[in-house]
Copies of this chain bind each other. A is one copy, B any other.
Amino acid sequence: MSLINGKEISEKIKDEIASRVREHTASGGKVPHLAAIIVGNDPASETYVSHKVKACERVGFRSTLVRIDENAEEQELLEKVSEINQDDDIDGLIVQLPLPGHMSEEKVIETISYKKDVDGFHPVNVGRMAIGLPAYLPATPFGIMELLRRSGIKTKGKHCVILGRSNIVGKPMSLLMSRKAEPGNCTVTICHSSTVDIPGTCRTADIIIAAMGTPGFLKADMVKEGAVVIDVGITRVKSDKTKSGWKLTGDVDFENVAPKCSHITPVPGGVGPMTIVSLLENTLMAAGRKIYT
């Protein structure tokens, strides 16, 4: 069994990005610049955004954090987005989700210029990804593709079962894993809450991508010997074994599933650290005008 060390791989990619940024700026290039908007003071959102800002610093990007009051009108947020869309110095823009209930996430996402949409949530980027054109890929699927590539896992002709059909993980994963590319070229089955026999379906899988958000859902008897298991779940559950009284738990019963796998990602330290790396890679591409001029 080989552990896919997402923490280590993500640090290696950050080193690579940092070195590309140094080379680029040494030859007179512009420093990549990410803007993040946070609305309100949700502690989880604060944590996520501060990690993103720190990651920018780590690789030599410039970052700008814009704070908007929780009780502000939606219009204020939309105007700020439009202003950043126009700002030639800013290459990428993200708006931390979720937003307060009186603001439409759909409207905000569609207002972000697709050329700066480094979260890959804008319909233009989703659509271009779907039809196989270059696009900013959403963070988690992009990170998983990188994990597979850098772990040297051959995917062509394999049966990949995806648990979950969310817009940010399940659906894009099914498009990426079935497309004519490496990694890719899998026969893909997408399962969800209406699937009748998830255990039986999983037992036929060479690769399982678990993204249900149900802690410990994937049990050992649902996994065939030698399978590759990618655990996207990350739920905070009570624990009497940690100082904080909480621990992060994936969708996979890791202890019992791991011995059967050829490769498996742990939680934490698997898929999680890759998501910020995806954001950095998208921002670097945006700065270099690699996808859109």
Contact = CB atoms under 8 A, between A and B. Distances in A.
B191 A190 contact: no
Contacts of A189: 187-190
Q: How many monomers of this protein are in the complex?
A: 2
Interface in A16-43: none
Contacts of A165: 178-180
B128 A194 contact: no
Contacts of A132: 167
Nearest to A194: B185
Contact of A123 (B133, B156, B178, B194): B133
Contacts of A178: 165, 171, 174, 190, 192
A194 B156 contact: yes
Given A127-B123, A127-B124, A195-B187, A133 B106 contact: yes
A169 interface: no
A44 interface: no
Nearest to A106: B133
Interface in A116-155: 122-128, 130-133
Between A126, A127, A185, the greatest number of chain B beta carbons within 10 A of the residue's beta carbon is seen for A127
Contacts of A190: 174, 178, 187-189
Given A106-B133, A123-B126, A130-B130, 20 more contacts: A122-B127, A123-B123, A123-B131, A124-B124, A125-B127, A126-B128, A126-B130, A126-B131, A127-B128, A130-B167, A130-B175, A157-B194, A157-B196, A159-B196, A165-B180, A178-B190, A178-B192, A185-B192, A185-B194, A186-B194
Interface of A: 106, 122-128, 130-133, 156-157, 159, 165, 167, 171, 174-175, 178-180, 185-192, 194-196, 201
Q: Which 4 A-B pairs have the closest CB atoms?
A: A127-B127, A123-B127, A126-B127, A185-B194
